[in-house]
Structure 1
Amino acid sequence: FNFQIDPMYLEVKNSYSNLYEKVEIVPLVGAPITPENDEISTEMPLPGALADYKLLFRSSKSFLSKEINRSFWPVLGGVSLIYIILIAILYLIYRNLEINGRLFKLQYDFINNLTHEFKTPVSVIKIAGNNIKSAQVLSDEERKMYGNILDQEADRLNNLMNKLLSFSQIENKTIKLNKEEVDLEEFTENLVASSRIKYADFKISTKIDVRTSMLADPVLLSSVFQNMIDNAYKYSKAGHKILDIAIQQNKKNFVITFKDEGIGIEKAEFNNIFKKFYRIKSQYNQQGSIGLGLAFCKEITEFIGGDITVKSQL
């Protein structure tokens, strides 16, 4: 038997469709096939019984460009994604280092300020003690003066330690909240009276418009009031040490406002003043502060279910 195979009836499967647009079987000898202007072609002779024929691979330049782009963009996208991830990782590392550096500075400043806060009363107590020890005779007036000095500085140390302890307890939610009915008018007037004794040149006025008593922890509430009063005095210029305390009651809450005529706070500092250990750089804040006052007030206010905000005009 003799078999004749006509190659022109054979179907060629293009397994590399991303490389070759067309694959054809053409005679090895015959009229030459002229590729089009934008076409690239490759030939490959067939073996054996099909030796008189060849495979012709054709691809237009536009087809090749399209296939190259289709393969290139996913690679470019992958490389870009890796690049973005690396940039993000570097940014997170930088941000973490920056935050750690800022935290280290805050803690360093806190230790320095805390050391100064303890050092001042300790030095005063030591000087007063040495004077008492070295004096052969003390008059009643001198004895009373040194006694007052020792009491005041001991109270100062005690208040500082209590503030640090209370802040830690409130921050860790380990302090017990003892709520009771507080008569805000009587409560405020008592604090104002003691503050007027403490600050003789401080003009404090109150305006209290409430219908009921307030359910709160009087000790913690007193700490907030006292810190706000102390801050108002400390950050006001001589001759402008004025504080207005207003308390109003709406349907749901008590609104307590402390308004002074102090040096003011820049708007950019509004988000910082309630941070732990943070101190605004000013001539009024070079010493005597550990950066816990307003942070302490915020922690207490939120702990007892309230909120604290600031408004300022320079």
Structure 2
Amino acid sequence: MDVFTKKRLAVASIVYWLLLFYIVAALIWWFIALEKQNHQTAAYKLSELKMDDPAFQTKYQAIVEARHLKDIQYLGEGGIFLIVILTASIFVYQAVRRQIRLQNQQENFMMAITHELKTPIAIAKLNLETLLKYSLPEEKKQKMLQATLQETNRLNTLASNILVSSQLEGGRYRITKEELELSDLVKTAINDFRNRFPDRQFHSEIEPEIDMDGDALLLQILVNNLIENAIKYSPKEGIITCKLTQKNRTILFQVLDEGAGIPDDEKKRVFEKFYRIGNETTRTTKGTGLGLYLCKKIVEDHHGHIRVTDNTPRGSNFMVSFTAKHAHEQ
């Protein structure tokens, strides 16, 4: 959260608490005033009673009971109003903080998406212009074409993430679940990344013939996003490990990296929409904050679970679990 947002949140918090204090103080003042009026009224009625009146005791008892009932009424009404005010104030305070935080994340998203769009377009344009203008050796030409292809894939992934995320949230994406071999899907994705990033080290442990019911496109996006996330946050010499195993009816897919890892207090928040660790103006890692959010949404739509733990000795371990239709035969 930047300095401007923190100041804005601080001002909103101060104004909010001052208004809440005023409302509670007014409620207490109202209660004291009514209690005082009730006791004064009862005292006046008692002073009007005559000792030689045969019904003195009955009238006295009625006035005292009426005063007592009024005390209970005012106390009950005041207590209910106080509970309602405090409950509503908590909800309003949390909603305002969420709104300010969401607005800040959306601003970060716009900054990130602008950078994510401009950078690959600029690189691809420069590479293509160079290839058209100069006659380059075949090796260098292939290297530039490979770089252009990588940037194009980045744009394609970004567009898919935004489109699918919007459709899933709006209920416009119709999930088509069919029986598919998850082992082949993961192997294909890893081989694709090996071709796209020949300078990175990939290690895979994929059990064969692991089947599940799911949407092939969404599961492909899930696998690709988790591997791309590992590439983003790992050093170039780090090993990215992908594991797919099944024990009884539980399918477990893991992507492990050797990056800096994720602090414990950030582990749940990384799956929030637009959320990214750090500040958008100083962050150097590419991304929009949609990838992991989309992963969580896809996993939940397949009735699975996703979480992140620490890798050993360093890095992160993203773990996705699904329930298979049948037990896996080893």
* Counterparts of residues 3-18 of structure 1 (less than 5 Å): none
Structure 2: which amino acid aligns with 1:258? V
Q: Relative to total residues, which structure has the larger helix share, 1 or 2?
A: 2
TM-score (normalizing by structure 1): 0.70
Distance 2:64 2:50 in 1: 21
What is the alpha-carbon distance in structure 2 between the residues aligned to residue 301 and residue 238 of structure 1? 28
Superposition map of 1:169-248 within 5 A:
169-209=167-207, 212-239=210-237, 241-248=238-245
CA–CA distance in 1 between the matches of 2:102 and 2:298? 22
The alpha-carbon deviation at position 145 of structure 1 amounts to: 5.2
Check 1:215–1:269 CA distance in 2 against 1; reply closer, same or farther (3 A cut): same
Deviation at 1:280, TM superposition (A): 1.6
Matched, 1:251 2:265: no
Which residue, 256, 269, 287 being the options, matches 1:272? Answer: 269
AA partner of residue 79 (structure 2): S
**Matched residues, number:** 267
Residues 162-189 of structure 1, C-alpha deviations (whole Å, 9 max, x = no match): 2211222233333344444434444333
Residue of structure 1 in register with 2:23 after alignment: none
The match for 2:107 is 108
Cα pair 1:170 1:303 within 8 Å, conserved: no
Q: Which amino acid aligns with 2:50?
A: E
Larger C-alpha radius of gyration, 1 or 2?
1
C-alpha contact (below 8 Å) 2:242/2:255 kept by paired residues: yes
Q: Deviations over 1:241-277 (max 9, x none)?
A: 2233222223333222223333222222232111111
Cα RMSD between the aligned structures? 3.6
Partner secondary structure for residue 270 of structure 2:
coil
Alpha-carbon distance change, 107 to 204 in structure 1, aligned in 2, over 3 angstroms:
same
For residue 167 of structure 1, give the secondary structure of its aligned residue in structure 2: helix
Which blocks of at least 5 consecutive residues in structure 2 are unaligned?
Answer: 1-41, 315-330
Structure 1 residues 168-177 or 101-110, which shifts more? 168-177
Contact 2:233–2:285 (8 Å) recurs in 1: no
Q: Any residues of structure 2 matched to 1:1-314 within 5 Å, and which?
A: 42-43=49-50, 54-55=52-53, 57=56, 68-128=67-127, 131=130, 135=133, 137-139=134-136, 141=138, 144=142, 146-209=144-207, 212-239=210-237, 241-281=238-278, 286-312=284-310
Deviation, 1:117, is 0.4
For residue 110 of structure 1, report the CA deviation from its aligned partner.
0.8
Q: Distance in 2 between matches of 1:184 and 1:82?
A: 57
Identity of aligned residues (%): 27
- What SS class does the counterpart of residue 311 from structure 1 fall into? strand
TM-score normalised by L of structure 2: 0.67
List per-residue Cα deviations over 1:209-265 (Å, max 9, x = no partner).
Answer: 4565333333322221111111122222354x2233222223333222223333222
CA distance in 2, matches of 1:156, 1:230: 10
